[in-house]
């Protein structure tokens, strides 16, 4: 993966809007985004700039140094609802399964050795 899921989702909505002749400024404010972990600061800003209604994620809190979802910031779009803990147990298992895999594109010297942990 080279792009964060939030950016991929935004691009897919934009493509859908083009294909269906819809105005994205009307679609995003009705959109709920579901992601596995709390959006990074870049993705949280993108979610806010696109005026996405809310973002539900499984891990993390709602904000770090900046609370992008709710802070009063000039020219950054509307705040959005930020909900953590959504289906968290499933997310833990999904991330464990993901990290057990190897990246087939990694250089041989960078491929980690499997120690058969579960």
Tens-digit pLDDT profile for residues 4-14: 888 999 999 99
Region of 116 on the Ramachandran plot (φ > 0 left; ψ -120 to 50 alpha; else beta): left
Q: How many helices (H) and strands (E) does the chain have?
A: 4, 3
Q: Into how many domains does the chain fold? A: 1
Tens-digit pLDDT profile for residues 69-83: 555 665 666 666 666
* pLDDT value, residue 15: 97
- Whether 86 is covered by a domain: the verdict is yes
* pLDDT value, residue 7: 92
- Whether 114 is covered by a domain: the verdict is no
Q: Round to whole Å and give the CA distance between 52 and 40.
A: 15
User: Which tokens hold the place of 69?
Assistant: 């979802």
- Whether 107 is covered by a domain: the verdict is no
- Whether 108 is covered by a domain: the verdict is no
37: CATH? 3.40.140.10
* pLDDT value, residue 44: 81
Tens-digit pLDDT profile for residues 81-98: 666 666 667 766 776 777
Q: How many CB atoms lie within 10 A of CB 5?
A: 16
Identify the domain containing residue 66 by its residue range.
3-98
Name the active-site residue from 6, 78, 81, 102: 6
* pLDDT value, residue 13: 96
- Whether 43 is covered by a domain: the verdict is yes
- Whether 72 is covered by a domain: the verdict is yes
Flag whether pLDDT at 46 surpasses 80. yes
Residues 43-60, mean pLDDT to the nearest whole number: 77
Residues 49-55, mean pLDDT to the nearest whole number: 81
Tens-digit pLDDT profile for residues 22-41: 999 999 999 888 877 778 87
Note if 6 is an active site residue.
yes
Element housing 32 (H / E): strand 32-37
Say if CB 13 and CB 31 are below 8 A apart: yes
Which residue is associated with the tokens 């891990």?
59
- Whether 41 is covered by a domain: the verdict is yes
Q: Round to whole Å and give the CA distance between 76 and 79.
A: 8
- Whether 13 is covered by a domain: the verdict is yes
């Amino acid at each position: 993966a080279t792009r964060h899921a939030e950016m991929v989702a935004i691009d897919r909505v934009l493509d859908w809007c083009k294909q269906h002749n819809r105005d994205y400024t009307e679609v995003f404010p009705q959109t709920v985004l579901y992601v596995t972990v709390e959006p990074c600061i870049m993705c949280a800003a993108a979610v806010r700039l696109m005026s996405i209604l809310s973002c539900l994620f499984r891990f993390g809190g709602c904000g770090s140094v900046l609370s992008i979802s709710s802070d009063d910031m000039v020219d950054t779009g509307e705040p959005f609802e930020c909900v953590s803990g959504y289906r968290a147990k499933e997310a833990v298992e999904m991330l464990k399964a993901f990290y057990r895999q190897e990246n087939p594109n990694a250089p041989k010297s960078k491929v980690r050795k499997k120690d058969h942990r579960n």
